[in-house]
């Protein structure tokens, strides 16, 4: 079976507790369960990971090459600051979809810039947990 890496960045381990008015009450465990179930429905094994460290995200992207067919990533705040994560996606050439729980384009100005979007095949934002599932569907369509 094919495989997708669902990769989560800083502070996403606090979902359900952190700013519920922005991110809702869904926990990261809820996101993981939904992604794993959706992966089965669309024919993909799902590896799920979260780290608060930029280097951990870069290493996970590097390790995805030759292991996973694609990546769905919510890089959190690193979306707006990390050239290293963008370069990792460019360097590995693993098809990557950027996702966000909130609509980053309706928030503070600094969140409107995504370095990651330059390397990703697309971006889905603002649909809460469903952003991840839509990202998986988009990745599957791209890989077909």
* Per-residue DSSP letter, 81: T
What b-and-e string marks burial along 21-47, b requiring 16 or more CB atoms within 10 Å of the CB?
Answer: eebeebbbeebbebbbebbeeeebebb
Distance CA 86, CA 10 (A): 16
Q: Residues with catalytic annotation?
A: 23, 100
Distance CA 101, CA 127 (A): 6
Three-class DSSP category at 28: helix
Alpha helices in the chain (DSSP H): 20-23, 28-42, 54-64, 83-92, 130-143
Order of strands, edge to edge, in the sheet holding 2-8?
Answer: 44-50, 2-8, 70-74, 96-100, 122-125
């Amino acid at each position: 079976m094919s495989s997708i890496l669902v990769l989560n960045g800083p502070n996403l381990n606090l979902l359900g507790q952190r700013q519920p008015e922005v991110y809702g009450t869904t926990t990261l465990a809820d996101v993981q369960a939904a992604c794993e179930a959706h992966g089965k429905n669309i024919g993909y094994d799902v590896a799920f990971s979260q780290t608060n460290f930029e280097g951990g995200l870069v290493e996970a992207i590097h390790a995805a090459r030759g292991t996973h067919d694609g990546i769905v990533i919510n890089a959190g705040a690193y979306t707006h600051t990390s050239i290293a994560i963008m370069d990792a996606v460019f360097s590995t050439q693993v098809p990557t979809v950027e996702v966000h729980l909130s609509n980053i384009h309706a928030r503070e100005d600094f969140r409107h810039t995504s370095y990651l979007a330059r390397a990703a095949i697309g971006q889905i934002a603002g649909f809460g947990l469903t952003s991840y599932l839509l990202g998986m569907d988009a990745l599957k369509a791209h890989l077909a």
